[in-house]
């Protein structure tokens, strides 16, 4: 089972319907926001996939509300290295496209 470690702002995590569980096994993708206080949740890709649009929208709302500090969405894993700048006016489609590209080659 492929799992993902999410380290996201509390405001974003509250909008998602994801379990807030401890580590269930090794993960091979870590999705995080750099430079801010974050909360962590471990989910499977199967759980995350249907929530991608919600996650992208939540990130956009969070950036618009708290856009003073620079923020970068990072995804690290085997053969994956993604850095997406999140300016205060980040477009939901940009975040969604970046996240969807990660799911295409990953099995649940």
**φ and ψ at residue 84, rounded to 5 degrees:** -125, 115
Amino acid 28: pLDDT: 58
Q: Which of 39, 29, 35, 30 is nearest to 8 (CA)?
A: 39
Cβ partners under 8 Å of residue 80, min gap 6: 29, 102
CB-based contact 67:87 (threshold 8 Å): yes
Rounded to an integer, what distance in angstroms lies between the CA atom of residue 46 and that of residue 71? 26
What is the pLDDT at residue 26?
53
Say what the pTM is: 0.80
E-strand stretches of the chain: 3-8, 29-34, 39-44, 72-77, 80-85
pLDDT reported for residue 57: 93
Output the pLDDT for position 105. Answer: 57
- Full pLDDT tens readout for the chain, 108 residues: 567 777 888 888 888 876 655 544 555 567 777 767 777 777 777 788 888 999 999 999 989 887 678 889 888 776 778 889 999 999 999 999 988 887 775 554
């Amino acid at each position: 089972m492929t799992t993902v470690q999410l380290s996201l702002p509390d405001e974003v995590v509250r909008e998602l319907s994801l379990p807030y569980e401890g580590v269930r096994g090794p993960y091979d993708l870590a999705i995080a926001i750099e430079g801010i206080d974050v909360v962590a949740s471990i989910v499977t890709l199967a759980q995350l996939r249907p929530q991608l649009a919600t996650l992208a929208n939540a990130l956009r709302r969070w950036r618009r509300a708290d856009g003073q500090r620079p923020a970068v969405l990072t995804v690290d894993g085997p053969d994956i290295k993604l850095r997406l700048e999140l300016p205060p006016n980040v477009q939901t489609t940009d975040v969604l496209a970046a996240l969807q590209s990660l799911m295409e080659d990953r099995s649940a």
